[in-house]
Amino acid sequence: MKKILVVFLSLSSVCSFSQKKNTPFSVTYNKNIETYFLAEILSAEHRRNNKDFELYKIKECSVYQPVVKNALQKYSRLKNSKIAVSTAELNDVLMEKYGSGNDVLMKPLMYHKEFPAVDWLNDYHFENNNLTREQNKEVTDLIKNYISDLSRFYIQENIGQFFKENESFYNGGIEEYNKQIPAGFTAAMERFYGESFNAYTIIISPMMMWPIEDNEGRGIAAEVVLKSGAKNIYEIASPFVRVQKTAEFGYDNQFQARFLSVHEFGHSFVNKEIYKNKEQLTRFKDLFEKSKLKEVMIKTGGYGDYQTCVAEHLVRLGEIETARIQKDEERVKRLQEYHLKNNFIFIPLLEEKLKDYNSNRKKYKTFGDFVPRLLEAFENSSVEFINDELKKVKK
């Protein structure tokens, strides 16, 4: 979801990485996120799209996600409530009319002050460069109105009491995830990308359902620009380990925790650069559609858009380089193999190009400065090359 490069930046301090004191990093949970996923559970029977999958998630995940099981026991009476119906409607409209999934709701949920608050940290606007200005405004209004309703639902149903009742489990999950994180990984990411953010926060979400196979879960990236102009970035993480006994909380897998954390934070460094250079990808859009890559990427992770495909490649490239800066060659090798196995066929080409970035950091001060060079790997490709590389992966 990777190789030995000589990093131009001084590595004299890399050996003793620890989280930088001036870069706040934390693991926590968020009541807005958890309340949304509770409403999503309640909404399953009202969905027009993906109803079977939503019901399957409930049946499957309630077996090994204690918070989901507890929520069902306490709130099943609300399956026909206003918030259940409106949550289903919102997700169906986002998918049918605007081509978006529930991942786009994480950012505005973080823009809202934590429930039971009813106001916002800063003004929120939905942005998708595949939509018109009018469509972006429509989605903005839909989401803001929905989150206001969700806030009222939290207060009316006293959802805060549920979090008090399950506080020990949430605290256990936070501690469990914290144990998996490599010391200093945000500093390593900042070194590679050449920029930094105000704060890095991992948000565990024991309420988020994602059927667990081979210790793989779901991570979602989000970011918030504060009124001061500072930007906080987040990773929202579903459980990726089945809870089968006391003192297990769903996050006790080092590879997956490290992969998800570096990956989702990486999107905040990468995505803006892809969208900024969208016009450079006109040829790759055609190659993506005509080759087998689109079909494969949809199966891999629902990546049916050419810009998303590129972003996912570059984020994975960043994961490998972060591990390399931290001198974790075992992680480097495992990530290389893992991502190639999952059809990210441009990784070797991108690694080769990245040598110029790493040896010319005076010229390329940030990753964004070098992105146009990386995009050449996609633009200069061909349908034949793409399909041949995909065949190699299958072997």
pLDDT, one tens digit per residue, over 311-342 is: 999 999 999 999 999 999 999 999 999 999 99
Q: Is the pLDDT of residue 17 over 50?
A: no
pLDDT value of residue 22: 53
pLDDT of residue 20: 42
In a domain, 92, yes or no: yes
Q: Where are the beta strands (DSSP E) in the chain?
A: 25-28, 199-204, 219-225, 231-237
Answer whether residue 4 shows pLDDT above 70.
no
Q: What is the pLDDT of residue 182?
A: 84
Say if 235 falls within a structural domain: no
Residue 101: inside a domain, yes or no?
A: yes
Q: Taking the chain, what is the end-to-end CA distance rounded to the nearest angstrom?
A: 17
CB 305 within 8 A of CB 98: no
Q: What is the pLDDT of residues 36-73, one digit of tens each?
A: 999 999 999 999 999 999 999 999 999 999 999 999 99
> pLDDT tens digits, residue range 118-175?
999 999 999 998 899 999 999 999 999 999 999 999 999 999 999 999 999 999 999 9
Q: Edge-to-edge, what's the strand order for the sheet holding 25-28? A: 25-28, 199-204, 231-237, 219-225
Asked, for residue 336, whether it belongs to a domain, the answer is no
Task: Tell whether 133 is covered by a domain.
Answer: yes
How many domains are there within the chain? 1
Q: Are 261 and 204 in contact (CB under 8 A)?
A: no
**Nearest-angstrom CA–CA distance, 203 and 36:** 14
Q: What is the pLDDT of residues 74-108, one digit of tens each?
A: 999 999 999 999 999 999 999 999 999 999 999 99
Query: Which residue range is the domain that position 38 belongs to?
Result: 30-170
pLDDT of residue 2: 30
Amino acid at 109: L
pLDDT of residue 18: 36
What tens digit of pLDDT does each residue of 260-295 get?
999 999 999 999 999 999 999 999 999 999 999 999
**And the tokens for 179?**
């144990």
Distance, C-alpha 356 to centroid of its chain: 28
How large a percentage of the chain has pLDDT more than 90?
90
Q: Answer whether residue 8 shows pLDDT above 80.
A: no
Backbone angles phi, psi at 101, to 5 degrees: -105, -175
Amino acid 209: pLDDT: 98
Residue 12 domain-assigned (yes or no): no
What is the band of 23 on the pLDDT scale with cuts at 50, 70, 90? low
The two three-digit tokens of residue 337, written as one number: 């193999």
Task: Examine residue 131 and state whether it is found in any structural domain, yes or no.
Answer: yes
Q: Which residues, at least 6 apart from 325, have a Cβ–Cβ distance to it below 8 Å?
A: 7, 11, 14, 188, 191, 192
Closest by CA position to 102, among listed 213, 199, 216, 218: 218
Residue 361 domain-assigned (yes or no): no
